[in-house]
Each structure stands twice: as structure tokens, then as C-alpha cells.
Amino acid sequence: MSNPSTAQSSPTTHPAAPDPAATAAARRNFLRFWTGQTLSEFGTRIGAVGMPVIAVDLLRADNQQVGILGALGSVGFLLFGLPAGAWIDRWLKRYTMIVADLVRLLAVLAIPLLWAVGELRIWQLYVVAGVVGLATVFFDVSYQSYIPVLVTDQEIGRANARLEATAQLATTGGPALGGLLMRVLSAPVVMLSDAFAYASSVVTLVLTRDTERRQQASERQQRSLGAEIAEGLRFVGKQPVIRRLVLSMGFSALFANLVATLLPILILRQIGLNAFMLGVVMTFGSIGGAIGAMMAPRLRRRFSTGLVIAGGLVAAAVFCMVSPLAALAGRDDKPLATVLLIVSEFGMVAGAVVFNVTQVSLRQRLCPKNLLGRMNASIRFAVWGGTPIAALMAGWLGTSMGVVPTMWIGSVGALLTVLPVLRIGRLIPADFSL
């Protein structure tokens, strides 16, 4: 029964003021998680350099074998993405991430151990890549579904921006650090840094606290796995904001990958720059991504969520068009071509990250917590499914039409992908804030 005096003095119920001590504890909790994931991101980027170097330099793998190795790292999302989302909604996400990290840790440790005893073979790298890729499916879907469990709704946007900023910095510094380490250490030994990253993530996840509760056994037994997957797909298809985001992201990934696949060919063959300059261009892209992640919360405070989403995507597409423009300068004016490429990559990644941080935070707010895993898995399946198609299209169109015309198709197509989200703001409640 309610207190009569309270009811009389306060006829309208107001939310209680946040407890400063609880708020400080929650922020320390997120800081532990953020620190572990930052270390993990750096280690993973270093490991991404080490695997192909081991295959090419130590095991003398041919092009086809290197391609198989790369495919095994990402095929897990296509094969297991949808059921992984349903399973993750049944499980505790933090424990799922811990198990996934332990699996990746043990798999990666096998490489330096096998190398040390002289038994490392290409098929063993295939196994490691496949196991790490499959574990990454479960980790990534859990990770993207965990932030709404870890922080309050009001902190979701800021938390995603911080995580994305450090991910972009790791993308910038990780490969460079890996290359530097491989100047003084062998590639298999450098893979120990990857193992250290997963171990760091495990430690911080163990120390992180949340209030998530596992689904009751009676709830899990009532529905089949297929029914739960279908429920996630139906939610994504029927939720008007998320449906438009998926349409935009799916086509955007398709057209952006047309450009990204042919960009190294444009830089190295058409313009005639060396591999070092390719790395410089990519580095400026990652710097732009880090700045975009830091700008996203400020832009959301100043503009509406819908405007930030559409604006980020338009900016990414417009800057994408600068890349084929660099071909006009070509070999005759390499400094100008280099500047255009740097501007293109910097602006394109910055706009894409502003879009990505905002749309991820919006999805997490709009989706019921019991559907987060299936929602994220369904979207990743839809978006990542276009990546191999885009790569095949880039190769075919680049051969039949030429590199620059194909990149123009990708750039113009990327601009058109803003259409599904152009007026998305009117579907978002006026009082809804990230």
C-alpha cells in the first residue's frame, strides 16, 4: 500500500534522482570493460597482420591458400550468424564473451607452440582461422548486445562512441605496431600479443558486473531455435526505423565494398604509389574514424538523431567520390593524387563512423533486451552477406569496364543508399535521445 502522505504531496510520480555513488560505480564498471576491449582491439589488429605473414613468408602459401585463410576468418557470420543470435539471447552475454575469448586464446596460442616444435602447417592455420572466426561470431554479437545491459539507456550513445573511437585508434596503430614487432621478432612470436589481448579481455570481463538474468528453462523449452530466429528476423523486418537502417546498411556495404576492393589497385597500379603510401592513406582513414567517433555524441546533442544518421551517410558517400577523382591526377601529379586519396579516406571513414555509432545506439535503444542478440545477428547476416558478392562484382566489373568506372558506380551507388534513411527522423519519437 502506498504512503498516503506521499501520495497527497506528490500526485505526479517523478523518476528518482540518480544516486551519485551508484553512477560512479557504474562508470568504473564500464571503464574496466572499455580498458579490456581496447587492449583486445590492439592485439587483434596485430594478430591480423601476423596470420597472413606466417602463411606467405614461413609456409610459402600460394594465392589460393591465402584466400582460403581469409575466407575462413569471416565465413562464420554467414554460416552461424542467425542461430548464434538466438543462442546468445538464451545465454548470459558476458559469460558468452568470456568463453569466446578463451577459445580464441587457446587457438591462437597453438601457432607459436606448433612453430616452436617445427610442426606448423598451412592446414593448421586454416583450423585456427576457422575456430577464431567462429568464436568471433559469438563474441561480436554478444558484445554489440551487451552495452544496453551494462550501461543505462542515457549512456548507450556515449559508451558506443568511446568503444568505436578506441577501435579506430587500434585500426590505425595495431597493424603498424605489428609490423614494427615483426622487424625484431618472428611472426609466430608476435601472435603471442594476440593471445595476450584475449587474456586481457577475459580478465576485465570477469571483473565487470551487470544485472543480466538468464532466460528461464521453461521459457527456453517452449520455442524451437527456428522459431526464435524467425522472431528476430520478423522484428527487424517490421520495426520501421531498424528496417530502413538495414536497407541502407546492406546496399551501402555492397557499394562501399566495390570501392574498397579496387582501392589498392587504383593506388598501386593506376596511380603508381607504393605500398607504404597505401598504408599512409589507410592510416588517415582510421584517424578520421577516431575523430568521427568522438564527434558523434556532440553532433547528436546539436542535431536530431535522424539528421546525424543521414548526414553521416551522405558525408561518407561524397568523400568516397574523391577517390576516383584522384585518378585524374594519376601518375602525372602523384602529390595531388595522394592528397585527394587522403582527403577521401579521412572524410569517408569519419562520416561512416558518425553514421555507425549513431545507428548502433539507436538500434540498441529501440530493441527489447530479450531480442538484442537476434536483432544484431540478423543485421550482421544481412550486411556481411553482401561482402563476398561485392568482391566478385568488383573483380568482374573492374576487368570488363575498368577500375575507375567501377569505382564511380560504387561511389554514386553509395550516395543513393541515403534514400531509406533520408526522413527517418520522423519515425523517431521527438523526446527520444541518445
Residue pLDDT, tens place only, 38-80: 888 877 777 766 787 788 778 887 756 776 777 777 778 778 8
From 359, 361, 379, select the one nearest 316 (Cα to Cα). 359
The last residue of a domain, from among 177, 210, 243: 210
Same domain, 202 and 234: no
Name the grid cell of 349.
571513414
The predicted-structure confidence for 177-186, as pLDDT tens digits, reads as follows 666 666 667 7
Decide if 160 is inside a domain.
Answer: yes
Tell me, what's the pLDDT at 105? 94
The dihedral formed by the CA atoms of 101, 106, 55 and 80, expressed in degrees to the nearest 10:
-50
For the segment 132-154, the average pLDDT, to the nearest whole number, is 87
Q: Are 258 and 390 in contact (CB under 8 A)?
A: yes
User: pTM for the complete prediction?
Assistant: 0.71
The predicted-structure confidence for 260-297, as pLDDT tens digits, reads as follows 878 888 887 888 887 677 767 877 887 888 899 889 88
Same domain, 237 and 149: no
Tell me, what's the pLDDT at 277? 79
Decide if 12 is inside a domain.
Answer: no
Same domain, 260 and 203: no
Same domain, 204 and 292: no
Residues 204 and 182: their CA atoms lie apart, in Å, by 28
Same domain, 158 and 278: no
Domain hosting 350: range is 229-427
Asked if pLDDT for residue 354 goes beyond 90, the answer is yes
For the segment 1-27, the average pLDDT, to the nearest whole number, is 51
The last residue of a domain, from among 179, 210, 241: 210
Same domain, 182 and 271: no
Q: Which of 120-134, 150-164, 226-240, 408-422 has the lowest mean pLDDT?
A: 150-164
Q: Are 159 and 29 in contact (CB under 8 A)?
A: no
Tell me, what's the pLDDT at 341? 93
Q: What CATH number has the domain bearing residue 46?
A: 1.20.1250.20
Same domain, 165 and 259: no
User: Residues 122-142, buried b or exposed e (16+ Cβ, 10 A)?
Assistant: beebbebbbbbbbbbbbbbbb
Structure confidence at residue 8 as a pLDDT band (50, 70, 90): very low
Same domain, 200 and 239: no
For the segment 185-212, the average pLDDT, to the nearest whole number, is 86
User: Residues 13-33, buried b or exposed e (16+ Cβ, 10 A)?
Assistant: eeeeeeeeeeeeebeebbebb
Same domain, 195 and 315: no
Decide if 215 is inside a domain.
Answer: no
Tell me, what's the pLDDT at 21? 65
What's the half-sphere exposure (Cβ side, CA atoms, 13 Å) at 312? Answer: 32
Decide if 360 is inside a domain.
Answer: yes
Asked if pLDDT for residue 17 goes beyond 60, the answer is no
Same domain, 270 and 358: yes
239: alpha, beta or left, given left = phi > 0 and alpha = psi -120 to 50? Answer: beta
Tell me, what's the pLDDT at 182? 66
Tell me, what's the pLDDT at 4? 38
Instruction: Report the sign of the C-alpha dihedral through residues 280, 282, 285, 289, in that order.
Output: negative
Decide if 331 is inside a domain.
Answer: yes
Decide if 238 is inside a domain.
Answer: yes
Instruction: Report the sign of the C-alpha dihedral through residues 77, 82, 83, 89, in that order.
Output: positive
Same domain, 131 and 206: yes
Tell me, what's the pLDDT at 64? 67
Same domain, 173 and 298: no
Tell me, what's the pLDDT at 67? 64
Enumerate residues 6+ apart whose C-beta is below 8 A from 220. Answer: 90
Structure confidence at residue 15 as a pLDDT band (50, 70, 90): very low
Decide if 18 is inside a domain.
Answer: no
Residues 374 and 365: their CA atoms lie apart, in Å, by 15
Decide if 66 is inside a domain.
Answer: yes
Q: How many domains does the chain have?
A: 2
